[in-house]
Structure 1
Amino acid sequence: MLRLKRVAVSLFFIASLSSAQEAHDHGAPEKLGKVSFPISCAPAVQEQFNRGVALLHSFAFTSAEQTFQSIAKADPQCGMAHWGVAMTYFHPVWSPSLPPQTFPAGQKEMLEATRLGANSDREREFIHALGVLYQQSAALTPAMRTIAYEQAMAKVAKDNTNDLESQVFYALAILANVSPSDKTHAKQKQAINILEPLYAEYPNHPGIAHYLIHACDSQELAQRGLPAARAYAQIAPSAPHALHMPSHIFTRLGLWDDSIASNLASRQAARQHGDIREELHAMDYLVYAYLQTERDAEVSQIIQDIKSMPNPDMSNFGIAYAVTAIPIRYAVEREQWNDAANIVPPSAAPPSVVAIAVWSRGLGLARTGHTKEAREEADQLRQIETQLHASGDDYWSTQTGVLAGEVLAWSAQASGDPHQAVVLLRTAADQEDAIEKQPVTPGPILPAREQLGDLLLEQKQPVLALKEFQAALVQAPGRRGTLQGIAQASQQNNHAERR
């Protein structure tokens, strides 16, 4: 068991946010958890550095950046301050992990961190490892960079076995290289094996709980992540992301009331921080949970709230995804096919986000009998699929291919070709089940396996439909559409047996 001789510094500063369980109180102290990251810079900046690292561990990147920049001003010889700034431009487990617009700034900070250096081997190793991520080479892809960084952090962890932050940042580096197509979750389990023993010894460390949730964000591992999910909001309630993250596990387990409470608190905190991306991310998870509990009026209000937002930055993937997905969820989950067909694809959004709107239109058109127009939307999805593949975005290329298959399947059904419809939709379901979702979404807007059950119900094949619904429920427990499908298939089957 890892032991530290240093006592972790508990981070309490004045802030405007209360915990998820308490009423908003402008006098509440800031709580970010307990972090100790000793550095050889001026002693006066040590506590501030601990705070910056705590903010990093809760992905409060803007506040962390400001904190590390203030340290650099207070101690111009502090190389680790520039390491901290560069770390805020690296978003492991998010997509993209190295945003192109901030990557040059990260490289600049690492050049300065390397120039200044540090007075301990451990700090120099941290600087070197991040320098590997930001190295000056146009030939390196982001995936190559994150793999090289993981390897460098493995050495940091090996050389500093008794240093908590070395182990935690190594676990995060591992999670940066998770493959969505690896259903064995090998990388996630590697990170969990590092983090779980640490969590038992350091239950108030924000990064440990946070990264355990990310590592367990799959159907196989969700139950294992529940203790961390229950604790994280209490560890760092001043961080909007800490209030939201438990809902990743709650969503996996169908704990809708817990997810709603988590995201209501996160949304309020994000608004207070002026973090539009985090607020919309919480709103998307909130809408998903509301729809499973038939709280449609609350979803309608959220859609109105989005419409009143002044000019959200649709070039930002996280913002664009939530703004686009929320009204589509509302239409599709309630089978309002005309509404789905009238969705307008967003301008200036990434192609992977545009694809969701095109899919909504195609699905709505197919389900209302406009097969020719639906196939045109499917053709557009195929074009986006090719575009994404050419750009190297294989994950969203695959997802877009699934969406195209769904539209074509329902078009075939409406055109009187039920066999082809089942073939297409089963293929889409198998492809979707073969890869994990990304953290940006609580799940597919309408799971392909659930759609396959609906299709088989429509074809009066209740026994086969029931099998698909039951498989869908394993992947996404507690989904309203799947549970309704199981009830309808059972009823249809019982009615057929009585004939």
Structure 2
Amino acid sequence: MRFATALMAGSILLAYPLAAQHEHHEHSAADLGNLGAVHFTTSCNSAAQGDISRGVALIHSFWYSEAEKSFRAAASSDPTCGIAWWGVAMANYHPVWQPPTPDELKNGAEAAAKAKEAGAKTDRERGYIDAINTFYADADKTPHATRALGYESAMEKLAAAYPKDDEASIFYALSLLGTASPSDKTYAKQKKAAEVLNRVLPNEPQHPGVAHYIIHSFDYPELASLALPAARSYAKIAPGSPHALHMPSHIFTRLGLWDESIASNLAS
């Protein structure tokens, strides 16, 4: 009986996370504390800076609607803060989900244009703004996949130009996951993303994006065991994010760790 119950629970859990591997897990407002350690330094004023760091943390746990609110608050606090509008544009682009909806494209393109108009006080910030404008440029004429590859290329250059900027590397890794081909069973881009993230990990052990994107990089039957340390740490890093509580279950389920998978889904 106990075996049958466990088997049934395992079957249910297997069907849920694996079928929903790239589905969104957007959440309504709840506890926005405990989102992990993110320090996205900018030239904006101190009032805007807190909202920007919070918005970046929310993006890294795919809480896009709340991230957009934080970035808009930053823009209100500092109208000269172009990077705040970069954040709004980023919150409307979800690389590992489906392409943006028409409304998201419109909102994101408007925000990217505002970021460019507001300008940047540093070359680093200008690099982020230029990169996201690469994605939104000519969205009505250029296919999503082409624009996503353009963004990936821009982020690769930004990460290379600023090797000490861990956020540039983390966003570059995310861009790789966003352009990985589902038909490539060598998982070349996923492995490259994981390589980038593992280089950053010693400096950023409490960063939500590092653990989260390692899980996405290895969320495949052949690779899942490589994500187990990240799966066991992500929920502890960002317990205020429902997605951080759920996402580890993908790996636990693939590895047959039913108790941990059940606990992960119940917590989320």
TM-score bucket of the superposed structures, by smaller chain: 0.7 to 0.9
| Cα distance in 2 for residues equivalent to 1:229 and 1:112 | 37
Which residue type is aligned with residue 41 of structure 1? C
Aligned to 1:142: 144
Aligned to 1:191: 193
Q: Deviations over 1:246-267 (max 9, x none)?
A: 011112112122111111111x
State how 1:395-434 maps to structure 2 within 5 Å.
none
CA distance in 2, matches of 1:261, 1:178: 30
Aligned match of 2:43 in 40, 44, 48? 40
Question: Where do 1:174-189 residues align within 5 Å?
Answer: 174-189=176-191
Matches within 5 A, 1:46-85: 46-85=49-88
| 1:106 aligned partner | 108
Candidates 244, 249, 261, aligned match of 1:242: 244
Q: CA deviation at 1:137?
A: 4.5
Unpaired stretches in structure 2, ≥5 consecutive residues = 1-28
Q: CA deviation at 1:16?
A: 5.6
Q: What's 1:160 paired with?
A: 162
Post-superposition CA distance 1:209-257 (Å, at most 9, x none): 0000000101121000000000000000101111111011112112122
TM-score, normalising length: structure 1:
0.47
For 1:30, which of 12, 28, 33 is the aligned residue? 33
What is the Cα deviation at residue 139 of structure 1?
A: 2.2
Question: Which residue identity is paired with 1:77?
Answer: T
Q: Distance in 2 between matches of 1:16 and 1:188?
A: 31
Shift of 1:62: 0.9
CA distance in 1, matches of 2:51, 2:114: 20
Q: Paired residue for 1:441? A: none
Aligned residue pair count = 240
| Structure-2 change in CA distance of 1:150 and 1:57 (3 Å) | same
Partners of 1:175 and 1:210 lie apart in 2 by 12
In the alignment, what sits opposite 1:282? none
Matches within 5 A, 1:78-477: 78-94=81-97, 96-266=98-268
SS in 1 for 2:33: strand
Which amino acid in structure 1 is aligned with residue 191 of structure 2?
K
Report if the CA contact (8 A) 2:159-2:172 is conserved. yes
CA shift digits 1:400-432 (9 cap, x unpaired): xxxxxxxxxxxxxxxxxxxxxxxxxxxxxxxxx
- Alignment RMSD (CA, Å): 1.3
CA contact (8 A) 1:150 1:173 kept: yes
1:43 Cα deviation (Å)?
A: 2.3
The 8 Å contact of residues 180 and 190 in structure 2, kept in 1 or not, is answered as yes
Please tell me whether Structure 1 or Structure 2 has the larger radius of gyration of its CA atoms.
1
Deviates more, 1:174-183 or 1:133-142: 133-142
User: 1:92 Cα deviation (Å)?
Assistant: 1.1
Long gaps (5+) in structure 1: 1-14, 18-28, 267-499
CA distance in 1, matches of 2:117, 2:198: 36
Q: Do 1:33 and 1:235's aligned partners in 2 also have CA atoms closer than 8 Å?
A: yes
Deviates more, 1:123-132 or 1:201-210: 201-210
Question: What is the CA–CA distance in structure 1 between the aligned matches of 2:237 and 2:140, rounded to whole Å?
Answer: 40
